[in-house]
Structure 1
Amino acid sequence: MAFESLSDKLQNIFKGLRGKGRLTEDDVKAALKEVKMALLEADVSFKVVKQFIKTVTERAIGQDVLNSLTPGQMVIKIVNEELTNLMGSETTKLKLLPDNEITVIMMMGLQGAGKTTTTAKIAGKLKGSGKKPLLVACDVYRPAAVEQLQINGDKQGVPVFAMGTNHKPVDIARAAIEHAKKNNNNVVILDTAGRLHVDEDMMNELIEIRDNIDITQTVLVVDAMTGQDAVNVATQFNEKIGIDGIIITKLDGDTRGGAALSIKAVTGKPILYVGMGEKLSDLEQFYPDRMASRILGMGDVLSLIEKAEQAIDQEKAKDMEQRLRKAQFTFDDYLEYMGQIKNMGGLSEMLSLIPGLGGQIKEDMLPDDKQLGRIEAIIYSMTKEERGNPDILNPSRKQRIAKGAGVDISEVNKLVKQFDQAKKMMKNMPGMMGGGKKKRRGGFKMPFGF
């Protein structure tokens, strides 16, 4: 996951600060020197790091910090605030005109950054919020790009306007807007052509579209995996075309994440969204304060709640909760729960958002995809009766299930034992399911008591 290495290093540095009752100016400077190295290793721009450390140092060595009862916590609070400021301080959303007008968004970026997929992701989000988007295939150099946009548009339930590859992009854009007027589409999203690198032809084409079409907002898509090069690309696009917002893709990958920490400070342009996976739903609104908390291992409860609200069928959750209270929780429920966990990004993603667990839960401590696959295979090898009533699983039935799943019987026994333990634990923890007399108003509960 992005920032994992940086997050681990920062948490270790701050652990040392927390352990000291009093802090001297030298203690703070030594810790911030380590923070500086950690940020540089995460591929954050040197100029950005230099200014960041200067600002934090000036705030952190004040007497009100050093003489406070918890100076270590105060320093961490300052770092958190400055990290948030670095990434934009406030959340910035797409600029959209009133529904009776047509918003035109021009999507830009280099080949390989995920621009076409991201364009479809944006369209899906806008459709979900009540808008009527139209996707426009303006990449006339790569026929596969037109086809890819049409396939993703179909998946999102969003219409795609295409004129093939024999027309100028500016003419396609102009015709698309006329089409939108006739068909009541109030957002037109132009998927422009990318190149392997910034070149004059691409820029001239984008300038022509910008100068002849009434563009509401220009959005640049950059790849987090390219590190500082993403910042350089953003700078060039901003100088030549002008950008209003940035979307960073592949932030879920094995990347150091420096682009997300540098790009706003260098370009002055806000990050609108971050791509956190390949699915068309894997696009998150960018919240600087939440990202700073994640990096410092403080969790991100609000994002966790939002993921749960999107992924979990509340009626099913209530039904399962009632069955759990009556000790009727079955392996079918277990499979349903695993599916919802996957929809929320997986177990490791969920746990990383819980305060206090960031950095504490390592990948090798969690079941991997193969293990989860074996669990599913074991459950699917059970009969409907066995899944509904695990108490009937005797040795001969377990032997048959193990053979059907292609695993040793010890794995079946282990799963049954874990299932029984989880069932007992959940039944005895009604507060975690949102039950009990002192149920918190507006409180969030994970399904089935987890």
Structure 2
Amino acid sequence: MLPFLQLSKSLAKRGHRISFLSTLRNIQRLPKIPPHIAPLIDFVSLTLPKVDGLPENAEATPDLPKDQVQYLKVAFDRLGGPLENFLEKASPKPDWIILDFACHWVPKLASKFRVPCALLSVFTAPFLAFWRPSESISPGGDNVLEEFTAPPKGISFETSVAFRLHEARRVIRGYENNASGVCDADRLLLTIEGCRVVAPRSCRELHSDWLCYLQELYRKPVIPIGLLPPAPDDGAGVDATSNESNVFHWLAKQAPGSVVYVAFGSETVLSAEILHELAFGLELSRVAFLWVIRKPVDVAGEGKEILPEGFEDRTRDRGVIAMGWIDQLRVLAHASVGGCLTHSGWSSVIESLQFGHPLIMLPFIVDQGIIARVMEERRIGIEVPRNEEDGSFSREDLAKVIRLVMVEEEGNQFRSKARELKEIFGNKDYHERYVEEFVLYLRNQKEN
């Protein structure tokens, strides 16, 4: 949602009118719009149909366990009626519809109103390069894992970026049937097929070769939209909590660049086993840390009881744990923070490098491994070693990588490269030029 909001704000600053369509609860989750552009962004709430198996008020993937996400797709696929009603009443009609990959049915519906579509891909260009139509992949085939554990076929440049074996097994699930009747891979590829242009959240300085490969693969324009970096005031309107006040009071006492910020995003739910290994790894590293933990929904109270017994007491002199939401941009901007232990979600990577922080990468969800490997190829950070079969990691390896990136002399190359890339990731004017290029394409295509 947030990249779409970032793009909406960027377009509104240019004087374009935006209709931002989503469900009510998703719209309510968004940060406030700056007053000077608020009149140009109209939030349109669509009522999500009731679907058997989908809990009430579940309107986004973080609201659901993995096995129930398929029912959310069923519900979203039934939004065709409300969208058609919106397009019928809209005056004037939209010039373009910019959509998410999951909405494979939108281009056909939009064509009834002669409105072209563009895909804004929150996935990076390297990740998109791996996906093929489901008819070319047999989930039970002998060689199917080889499709994903090696770089994509037809790549003309040097790279070792690919999925690990344990990741590839999860990727293949994207080719399996689900309750919606459309597997995730086909959902993405049908959307690409129906759109006139694909706009990945990428930039040429990072992904130039991959973007060229995608254009050859899709045989249509692939125009990077830039990184859409958030501004520090994007969390405006969210009141600071006492928890947050304590965090910044603690950060103010730490040496510059000494703290590793630990966070794994809003959609990653970690098991007790993984949480414990993370805790022991942080303890072994002897590096100061700020760890933000998403409390499992089934845990009562503060939730700190999910950590190893005695962990807080043993690390009290050099670590702070925050449960729940915290202003991540404000944390990353703090002078005491010197690196990030991250799941390698693309938004989190962008935000970390926006402030020049090197990465300690521990990916968990489908696209994150590819992001981590691209970052490692660029010497921006290091991925924590994992077991190829099951994806497990050891506290010893985690501690070693934390120290290498944060403290050891060998880590200077990563710290230096991250500071260098701050000039790309942190320059909003630079990324506005990518948006301008995209707008120029849309305008020219509409006029033609």
Whether TM-score is above 0.5 comes out as: no
Q: TM-score, normalised by structure 2?
A: 0.29
Whichever of the two has the greater Rg, that structure is 1
More helix per residue: 1
Structure ranking higher on relative contact order (CA contacts 8 Å, 6+ apart): 1
